[in-house]
């Protein structure tokens, strides 16, 4: 009779296969997902060794490795931004604390499981809050895939919170049952949650365009990179008032003028350069092409239109799709790509939102002259 392979090692094997597939694809946007999957694989192996062979060194290593996972997950969802990469090192402080506590655990038995639970809970809530800000909170994500990316971010946040609950259960099991059920809890949590959060990280990674370092035009040519801290030349061209006290009403008026300047410039480059036809267009690329910081674009569009940038860009795409439906015989499955969409489901959803009918119904209404 063949010996049974412990469940953690089966999970580790599956994660290793996924890791190999991700590495083979050699996509820069998937590098954070590769790092996260590798960390998950290593953590599962360490957990399997801890609960199968109870090696003393593994007891020390397991909580240290577990404390790294939330920071790595956070990097996967925010690490594309330079500012996030700088701040990432601050996220390693909890790892240092857990390392010290784990090393000295035999002397004073600190509540490491509860600390890990708090760490996972904080990161989980942070990811959910980031996703709740909407598509404009993810400037590196293609406009056509913001909904999937937001869903993946929320899934990852919920998964971390559930992991926090499992850490509390493990701590309680050691307090009341001497850890009799801890191995089972760990195995079940890893089996159910790790594939889910890895899926979320990979989905998010695939939503980031290749070559995010520079904006790509619909013709495929690279556009010059404009640093976000460079002021918009249009904004600078607005006459500056004399240094006199400014009332709130005047300040609001000036802000509205700035917003209108930004909106007009975005509309101009959208129509003249047809940026909306770029399927990889995201907020960062739009900002570089416009020469306006992404936060200013997002704020102006939100205040003027009451919608996010993704929705407004899709409205330009729907406008182009309407033109194609009226003037050409292209099938819907072809013209959606011409308009800048990547999936039929996203195209149909946005068309229904903007036009109030399906693309096929719109073509029939135009043909019948209704």
Please give, one letter per residue, the 3-state secondary structure of 22-76.
Answer: HHHHCCHHHHHHHHHHHHHHHHHHHHHHHHHHCCHHHHHHHHHHHHHHHHHHHHH
Which range (100-114, 227-241, 323-337) has the least confidence? 227-241
Which range (236-245, 279-288, 292-301, 344-353) has the least confidence? 236-245
Neighbours of 50 (CB within 10 A): 22
Average of per-residue pLDDT across 343-367: 90
With 50 as the cut, is the pLDDT of residue 104 above it? yes
Task: State the pLDDT at residue 5.
Answer: 53
Task: State the pLDDT at residue 26.
Answer: 81
- CA separation for the pair 228, 71 (Å, rounded): 26
Average of per-residue pLDDT across 168-186: 80
Task: State the pLDDT at residue 129.
Answer: 93
Comparison of pLDDT for 83 and 190, the residue scoring more = 190
With 50 as the cut, is the pLDDT of residue 153 above it? yes
Average of per-residue pLDDT across 116-133: 93
Comparison of pLDDT for 24 and 82, the residue scoring more = 24
Comparison of pLDDT for 5 and 338, the residue scoring more = 338
Q: Is 356 left (phi over 0), alpha (psi -120 to 50) or beta?
A: left
Average of per-residue pLDDT across 81-89: 55
Comparison of pLDDT for 86 and 316, the residue scoring more = 316
Domains of the chain plus CATH, in order, are 7-206 (1.20.1070), 257-367 (1.10.10.60)
Task: State the pLDDT at residue 248.
Answer: 44
Which range (47-51, 74-78, 95-99, 215-219) has the least confidence? 215-219
Burial 217-251 (b: 16+ CB within 10 A, else e): beeeeeeeebebeeebebbeeeeeeeeeeeeeeee
Task: State the pLDDT at residue 232.
Answer: 38
293-335 pLDDT, tens digit per residue, is 999 999 999 999 999 999 999 999 999 999 999 998 889 888 9
Q: What is the DSSP letter of 321?
A: H
**First and final CA of the chain: distance in angstroms?**
75
Confidence category of residue 254, pLDDT binned at 50, 70, 90: low
Task: State the pLDDT at residue 270.
Answer: 92
Are 194 and 44 in contact, with CB atoms under 8 Å apart?
yes
> Tokens standing for 338?
């011409």
Task: State the pLDDT at residue 370.
Answer: 59
Confidence category of residue 11, pLDDT binned at 50, 70, 90: confident
- What's the whole-model pTM score? 0.77
Task: State the pLDDT at residue 262.
Answer: 92
For 336, how many CA atoms within 13 A lie in the half-sphere containing its CB?
18
Task: State the pLDDT at residue 8.
Answer: 77
């Amino acid at each position: 009779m063949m010996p049974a392979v412990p469940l953690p090692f089966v999970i580790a094997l599956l994660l290793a296969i996924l890791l190999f597939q991700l590495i083979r694809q050699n996509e820069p946007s998937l590098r954070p997902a590769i790092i996260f999957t590798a960390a998950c694989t290593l953590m599962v192996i360490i957990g399997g060794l801890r609960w199968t062979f109870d090696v003393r060194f593994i007891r020390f290593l397991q909580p240290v490795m577990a404390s790294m996972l939330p920071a790595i997950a956070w990097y996967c969802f925010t690490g594309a931004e330079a500012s996030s990469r700088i701040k990432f090192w601050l996220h390693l402080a909890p790892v240092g604390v857990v390392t010290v506590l784990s090393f000295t655990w035999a002397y004073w038995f600190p509540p490491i499981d509860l600390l890990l639970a708090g760490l996972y809970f904080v990161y989980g809530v942070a990811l959910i809050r980031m996703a709740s800000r909407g598509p404009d909170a993810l400037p590196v994500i293609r406009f056509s895939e913001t909904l999937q990316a937001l869903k993946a971010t929320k899934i990852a946040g919920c998964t971390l919170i559930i992991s926090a609950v499992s850490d509390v259960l493990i701590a309680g099991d050691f307090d009341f049952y001497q850890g009799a059920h801890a191995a089972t809890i760990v195995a079940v949590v890893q089996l159910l949650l790790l594939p889910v959060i890895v899926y979320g990280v990979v989905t998010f990674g695939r939503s980031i365009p290749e070559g995010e370092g520079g904006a790509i035009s619909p013709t495929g040519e690279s556009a010059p990179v404009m640093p976000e801290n460079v002021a918009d030349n249009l904004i600078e061209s607005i006459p500056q008032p004399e240094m006199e006290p400014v009332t709130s009403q005047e300040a609001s008026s000036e802000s509205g003028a700035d917003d209108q300047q930004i909106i007009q410039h975005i509309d101009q480059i959208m129509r003249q350069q047809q940026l909306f036809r770029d399927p990889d267009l995201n907020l960062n690329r739009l900002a570089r092409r416009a020469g306006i910081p992404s936060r200013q674009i997002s704020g102006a569009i939100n205040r003027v239109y009451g919608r996010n940038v993704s929705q407004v860009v899709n409205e330009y795409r729907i406008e182009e799709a309407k033109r194609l439906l009226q003037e050409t015989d292209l099938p819907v499955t072809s013209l959606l790509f011409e308009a800048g969409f990547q999936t039929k489901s996203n195209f149909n959803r946005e068309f229904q939102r903007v036009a109030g009918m399906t693309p096929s119904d719109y073509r029939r209404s135009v043909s019948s002259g209704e």
